[in-house]
Amino acid sequence: MLLRLAIKSLLDRKSSVLLTCFALTISIFVLLGVEHIRKESKESFSSTISGADLIVGAKSGRLNLLLYSVFRMGSPINNISWRSYQNIAAAPDVDWTIPISLGDSHNGFRVLGTNNDYFEYFKYGRKQSLSFELGNQFRSNFDVVLGAEVAASLKYKLGDKVVLSHGIGDTSFTIHDENPFTITGILTSTGTPVDQTVHVGLEGIEAIHQGIGSTHAKLKPSSITAFIIGLKSRISTFKLQRHINEMQEEPLMAILPGVALSELWRMMSMLENTLLLISSMVFVAAVLGLTAVLASSIRERRKEISLLRTIGAPPSFLFLLFQLEALLVSLVSMFTGSALLCVSLSISQSQISKQFGLHLSTTPFSMNSLSILLSMMFITALAASLPAFQAYKEAKTAY
């Protein structure tokens, strides 16, 4: 009966209740959205690379190197000479290397020049290897392997021709249309930036920049952007890192991906906390609005309170009625806020993925978001205690 009374009472004050619901819905949408993006981006970043011991690039910032080599974000400031790469790759401690050459694009997707070691050694998530959904790796200079999302969004299939553009923007004035690439493989989806990458051989990159049309010419690149190293034993990680960082022939930098990621989290946590604080404040403001609506309704509901008392309602019933009304408004807002977030995520998922390389799932529910929702219920109950207590007092002293 209490629930029925609370629902009917809220429906009777539709306009003010709807406005409050709207404010709460927006605040819940923002709060859950921030939490979801924070969690997903962290997971997405953490699972992008696995099993790599060092990443080597031209001397710049550690984060910059991590971002452009692994996450395809930002731009490298310099290249590494092919000779330095070969020297380091030949070191006795090195088990495998993956060369990376960046700087071209196709329809807004970044092009990564590499060799077939990429498909053998690159690991993501929990040391999962890349696998082919269709086709296979490079066999000639103008073969291209597409990430799952590139193929899906551009509706490409094996055998289609792809033309690369110079530069990494959406538009480019230099299009290498004289040397089209043929799609020979499409990778299985990984949920990492690999999905948004167009992979070509280093020879292919060299060929289009030198204007050589031969599909099987042996071309040696003069430089690459970065490379990933896997070591035979982890014990030699720091030794090799120091060696690379102190190389006299060329100023290079080797970073440990895990350490660089931690640095990224430290930088991000400040922003995350600020965003969470702002969205929490928005929620608190909306809850205070709800409290104000309930508190101001006490005066107009005096008659109702006195009637309920007359038919035997104890003051605690009035306290619970006001609490329940607040919790119902909060619950409905949580439902609509979450639903709105799910819809927004489904609509913007591919755009966010393409624009920021972030794979966001469309279900924003996790233990964290659940605890946020529970905290919201607690805050609502706490804030509603004031009008509920006023109603309780009114019920006690109405006569």
Partner 1 sequence: MSFKDQRPLIELNQVVFSYTTDSSRCVLNIPSWSVSDQEHVLLVGSSGSGKSTLLNLLSGLLIPSKGAMTVAGHTLEKMNGRERDKFRSTHIGYVAQNFNLIPYLSAVDNIKLALHFGSNTSNKRFKVEIVELLAQLNISQSHWNKPISQLSIGQQQRIAIARAIINKPKIIIADEPTSSLDQSNRDNFMSILMEATKTHDTTLIFVSHDLSLSRYFDRIDSMSDINKTES
Q: Which residues bind partner 1 (CB under 8 A)?
A: 1, 4-5, 8-9, 11-12, 303-304, 306-315, 317, 396, 399
Nearer to partner 1, 173 or 399 (CB): 399
Nearer to partner 1, 126 or 303 (CB): 303
Nearer to partner 1, 10 or 49 (CB): 10
Element (H, E) at 225: none
Beta-carbon count within 10 A of 361 CB: 16
Structure tokens belonging to residue 315: 């003051």
The SS3 of residue 199 is strand
Nearer to partner 1, 296 or 346 (CB): 296
The SS3 of residue 345 is helix
Residue ranges in the chain assigned as alpha helix (H): 2-12, 14-46, 62-70, 82-89, 117-121, 148-154, 202-210, 237-245, 257-300, 302-310, 315-356, 367-397
Q: What is the DSSP string of 89-148?
A: HTSTTEEEEEEEEEEEEETTEEEEEE-THHHHH-EETTTEEP-EEEE-S--STTEEEE-H
Minimum distance, C-beta of residue 296 to partner 1, in the bound complex (Å): 18
Minimum distance, C-beta of residue 310 to partner 1, in the bound complex (Å): 5
What CA–CA distance (Å, rounded) separates 204 from 202? 5
Nearer to partner 1, 130 or 308 (CB): 308
Minimum distance, C-beta of residue 15 to partner 1, in the bound complex (Å): 14
Residue 158 sits at φ, ψ, to 5 deg, of: -60, 140
Minimum distance, C-beta of residue 48 to partner 1, in the bound complex (Å): 56
> With contact defined as beta carbons under 8 Å apart, do 207 and 179 qualify?
yes
Nearer to partner 1, 9 or 241 (CB): 9
Minimum distance, C-beta of residue 21 to partner 1, in the bound complex (Å): 18
Minimum distance, C-beta of residue 17 to partner 1, in the bound complex (Å): 12
Q: What residues have CB less than 8 Å from 354, skipping those under 6 apart?
A: 108, 109, 149, 153, 196
Q: What residues have CB less than 8 Å from 219, skipping those under 6 apart?
A: 141, 202, 203, 206, 207, 210, 212
The DSSP call for residue 256 is -
Nearer to partner 1, 239 or 396 (CB): 396
